Structure 1
């Protein structure tokens, strides 16, 4: 049965207790009056569509479209407050779902924290932390690869396999000269574990999860096909998106350094202008996609605001952050159409409908 506006209103009441050029995401920072939901409570303040001057008539068509596109959950935050929260296709607020590659940005956040603590320097070569031989490249070529290359997806290692064992990580080009979407970024998690003298999971829990109230009793890093994949409820994903929207600050505590986060959400290299440190960037003049060396002209998501940046995961897991509109948008679920690794046609279609709602 289609998600109804009546159901959404019940959720609402419950919650109350430039151009296509290579623009930089340097819009005015969010106002200081951002709302941060409390820890350990189901209470999360809300705002109504009418209060924001949005088009109520476009809400139900949006929800119907989302349900038809295999969505499990969908949220829109405005300055931290919930405007839309909907669950469908057998999902609910207490169920978990995987972030897939949208969770890459959690590694980015931890990298910024570790650098601020003096544990790492992303401009340092990876072998300084992991030792030599972590790839099958020659020592000369391996030593060209820095932590920044892992975060920027331009390590130069062969992307034809998903594995991250030394035998999988073969030299293809000098670091910095070739962009390719690759699981090698996961070696950054090993760097963080070594540098923090802990495990990646423990470092994540202490430095990020627990500081913003992401659920600790449900979800977490689960091992799937030799890789850690993050699972959570929808509101935990929304909390992380809110942290990013607030320039890395939660209430009065600066958790992710603002300067690092600004680097992470702007072009990180000259090849794929629409990629930062594991974040996808809109409003640039061109982009590359996973599994291809082709260069595509235009913005990543033409219907979305130019300053939008996003965490994109397999089968259309989404965190969209739009500073100019004061929005964080979350989508979890099955693939909207066919299986994808990051961007899909769903992004642009969804933003067309979001624009009808918010404009």
Structure 2
């Protein structure tokens, strides 16, 4: 009798558990806007369960701090899109150093096409004498050193210039982290390796494939990207999806993982031209000081960032499936890529969903 009852009890228990367990909520599919046109799906604050009362204080702060645009994507859909101070959805604005991440991404594309290897020396692609360093020191500098700001080239006296006479030896490559405009030599590397101009390769391999607009404009010694806010958001969406646009791999996931994680042991808050939040310490541009803690304490620890002069921002937060873009003038009339503005802004953003 026991042998009969026991299996029956077990069977009834399993049926009971099955009937009481709710079906899991289906995960909302990640959305990608069409490559052409203005169509872009949206989500409302209320559908996300966010706090509508927190929206206006956020927008007021952004306008007060000289913003021109602000956009939040969740799962690829627009939740907030606002323009200020005469700017609109069709206006172009500069990315400043936030555009370094475009160069990082293009380097990954060129590598996956077999045109270069980031571990190879820069001079293999653009020839020797591109710096004023002794040849044995110049040949220590790899493409990866340019991606990670560890070239060892003097970073203070020569400003943004990247002519050979301006690129002077400071330390051996890989032994020192210093923010430097020399990363733009990667654009020369890609042009030489691909046999195309930088603009042509960029447009065909990245811009046009994800429906961005915009153009590179030469400013002094730097090539600066200008685009609409939505184009900046498209790029953020691509990177948040590990380099894949819908079913098309633009840049492989392994490279994106490398680019958006600590890339060397000197500045834990830096990847391949991406800034990383939530690390135990970090360096800032024009400083050799080590700062303890997260770069933006109020922001999520898994966030990584494209940051540019006068507070151009792309924040990517994988845990929240969120991409945030801010364009505009300097929040506090200073020329820093990172300032207290970020932390206060994140107080306002957190109020939306906490």
In structure 2, what is the equivalent of residue 309 of structure 1? 304
Query: CA-atom RMSD, angstroms?
Result: 0.9
1-structure distance, mates of 2:349, 2:335: 21
* 1:259 aligns to 2:254 (yes or no): yes
* 1:136 aligns to 2:132 (yes or no): yes
- 3-state SS, counterpart of residue 194 of structure 1: helix
In structure 2, what is the equivalent of residue 99 of structure 1? 95
**Cα pair 2:277 2:301 within 8 Å, conserved:** yes
2-structure distance, mates of 1:267, 1:241: 19
Structure 2: 5+ residue stretches without partners = 1-26
* 1:68 aligns to 2:64 (yes or no): yes
Structure 1: 5+ residue stretches without partners = 1-30
Per-residue deviation, residues 281-317 of structure 1 (Å, max 9, x unmatched): 0010001000010000000100000000000000000
* 1:34 aligns to 2:30 (yes or no): yes
Give the drift of 1:347.
0.8
Per-residue deviation, residues 168-222 of structure 1 (Å, max 9, x unmatched): 000000000010000000000100000000111110000000000002xxx3001
* 1:85 aligns to 2:53 (yes or no): no
In structure 1, what is the equivalent of residue 183 of structure 2? 185
In structure 2, what is the equivalent of residue 231 of structure 1? 226
2-structure distance, mates of 1:339, 1:213: 33
**Cα pair 2:68 2:329 within 8 Å, conserved:** yes
Show the 5 A alignment for 1:6-25: none
Q: 1:113 aligns with which of 90, 109, 122?
A: 109
Per-residue deviation, residues 90-144 of structure 1 (Å, max 9, x unmatched): 1001111000000000001100000000000000000000110000000000000
- 3-state SS, counterpart of residue 208 of structure 2: helix
In structure 1, what is the equivalent of residue 155 of structure 2? 159
**Cα pair 2:262 2:276 within 8 Å, conserved:** yes
Give the drift of 1:226.
3.0
Per-residue deviation, residues 233-283 of structure 1 (Å, max 9, x unmatched): 100000000000111000100101100000000001111000000000001
Alignment length, in residue pairs?
A: 326
Q: Which has the larger radius of gyration?
A: 2
In structure 2, what is the equivalent of residue 278 of structure 1? 273
Give the drift of 1:62.
0.3
User: TM-score, normalization: structure 1?
Assistant: 0.90
- 3-state SS, counterpart of residue 331 of structure 1: strand
In structure 2, what is the equivalent of residue 125 of structure 1? 121
Question: After TM superposition, what 4+ stretches of structure 1 lie above 4 angstroms from structure 2?
Answer: none
- 3-state SS, counterpart of residue 212 of structure 1: coil
Per-residue deviation, residues 32-53 of structure 1 (Å, max 9, x unmatched): 8210000211110000011001
- 3-state SS, counterpart of residue 330 of structure 2: coil
- 3-state SS, counterpart of residue 229 of structure 1: strand
**Cα pair 2:100 2:273 within 8 Å, conserved:** yes
2-structure distance, mates of 1:193, 1:135: 18
In structure 2, what is the equivalent of residue 318 of structure 1? 313
1-structure distance, mates of 2:221, 2:104: 20
1-structure distance, mates of 2:336, 2:134: 30
**Cα pair 2:199 2:216 within 8 Å, conserved:** yes
Q: 2:172 aligns with which of 171, 174, 187?
A: 174
